[in-house]
Amino acid sequence: MEREKTFIVGDIHGCLHMLKRLLDKIPWRPGRDRLVFVGDCIDRGLDSKAVVDCILGLMQMDPSVICLLGNHEAMLMDYLAGVNQGLYLANQGMTTLKTYMAEKPHSEEALIPPDHMAFYRSLPPFMELTGYYVVHAGFRPGIEIAFQSVEDMIWIREPFIFSDYDFGKKVIFGHTPFPRPLSMANKIGIDTGAVYGNRLTCIELPEEQFYSVAA
């Protein structure tokens, strides 16, 4: 069934208290409206594991809840696979690892619970809606969506942000923090620096109405 409205939440970065307050504020109706997280749910903040637990709970409530792949989730998966571990730690990945270690400090079990591993492995790099694309970081101008690289979709900044290229649909994205939502003819940025003491933002589509909570 076609969902009536779509609510898209910006980069949470382990800020559980802000996520809970934002969820209390937005008029999302499970089973009727779509709820999307733009990625970077983890790292930097204090409660990354609890944020994922919260999102998994929402997915159990409504299986159509979607979380996209952010560069921080991708870095965590690389770290666990023994790839680019220094890059993840340099991007404050230890804040997430500590939240998992705290729950089983002396256990020989895998650090990340199976349901969380399944969650991280399931994250798509973008989604398409009527009139919109939703992606973590953006797209490379001049390339059709079908040929965009995952690396660009989770890492790109200036070539996308400073471009007025028409991707065929307006792009909703996170990744690059702004003091307030960035609204342009071809894109809307909804990372408003929650973990840096600013705000956590959600956009409601198709009205393009913003909701936010302060740190």
Q: List pLDDT tens digits, range 163-180.
A: 999 999 999 999 999 999
How many domains does the chain fold into? 1
Domain boundaries, position 96: 6-214
At 204, which helix (H) or strand (E)? strand 199-205
Does residue 36 sit within a domain? yes
209 inside domain: yes
**In this predicted structure, what is the pLDDT of residue 199?**
98
Low-confidence stretches of the chain (pLDDT beneath 50)? none
Nearest 5°: phi and psi at 136?
-70, -60
Indicate whether 12 belongs to any domain: yes
Is the residue at 1 inside a domain? no
pTM recorded for the entire structure = 0.95
Residue-level pLDDT at 77: 97
Please give the pLDDT value at position 3.
77
pLDDT at res. 102: 87
Rounded CA separation 140/70 (Å): 16
- Angle value at C-alpha 87, between 81 and 93, nearest 5 degrees: 80
Question: What whole-number distance in Å separates Cα of residue 200 and Cα of residue 151?
Answer: 24
Residue 24 in domain: yes
Query: Residue 13: inside a domain, yes or no?
Result: yes
Taking each helix axis from N to C end, the angle separating 16-25 and 48-61, rounded to the nearest 10 degrees, works out to 30
- Per-residue pLDDT of 89-108, as tens digits, reads 999 999 999 999 987 766 65
Residue 135 domain-assigned? Answer: yes
CATH number of the domain encompassing residue 66:
3.60.21.10
Q: Is 147 part of a structural domain of the chain?
A: yes
